[in-house]
Amino acid sequence: MEWKPKGWITLLLGILLPPFAFLYVNQGTLFWRYFLLSLVVAVLDYVLHKSIPPSHWLNYVYLNWLFTLVCAVHAYLLCRAYSTQKVRRWYAKWWAIPAIFTIFYSLVFLFRAFCYEPFSIPATSMNPTLKVGEYIIVKKWGFGDYGSYGVTLNNTQVKDESMLQRGEIYVFYPPDSETPYVKRLIGLPGDTIVIEGDVITVNGKVLRTEFLRVDDDNKIYREFLGDKNYLIQRNPNRPVGVFQTVEVPAHHYFFLGDNRDNSRDSRFWGTVSTADFVGEVAMVLAL
């Protein structure tokens, strides 16, 4: 039986699911080309908007809008010129697009839930290491909190606590919070943490710092913790001025933000249980 794609379905798919419109009009090669192009456009949108001031009108314009329009128009023109003599491939049949879409995004969801998930940095608490607007890729396997897009599939404790290392950066849920935080791990179970303003002592050893430079009103230091070192910043005009001694309980961890005078961390809401970890920061996308 001769078959020809319908124009209104083609336009609808071109607007709602841009690359998938080409499957419907029996053009598998164009589907992959447009799919790869959509990834390039997404990256370009991210890079361009990162450099535009928040208040500028261009911050509300996206290349993806033009991409969607081009995709829909191209697919519609192919639909109008479609030859009924062409063999209809399996991916152009009525059940194929819902099936492909469901399988593809199910795999994406499972990958984000169990393996790696991107997060954006919304605040300055980890300056100068992580800046607002940057993306981090979080390794989740082994940390027990498996889910994505607000859906939790499983939530247990960290599988092996030896994977939690001082000086590394982790994502977790602070006590009594449903918002994930990203901070640097300073204290392990059994540690004694003493904080006296700018001076931090771990098990009797003061964390050594080395002054590097001044950025605006902030002083940038290199801090040394065991065999690791990283950058921190302090604002002498508004120091936090916390004085406390913390004994880190079993299966709990003590975190600090690298922006020491502008960070809500374990100095304020206490230690973090192994049941509240999301994962470890594996990569920073600083485009």
Residues recognised as catalytic: 125, 183
Strands 192-196 and 181-187: unpaired
H or E element, residue 103: helix 96-114
Measured between alpha carbons, how far is residue 87 from residues 12, 32, 92, 148 in Å? 23, 19, 10, 40
State whether residue 20 is helix, strand or coil: helix
How would you classify the pairing of strands 199-202 and 228-234?
A: unpaired
Instruction: State how far the Cα of 32 lies from the Cα of 100, in Å rounded to an integer.
Output: 13
Contact indicator for 91, 14 with CB cutoff of 8 Å: no
**SS percent in the chain: helix, strand, coil, step 5:** 35, 30, 35
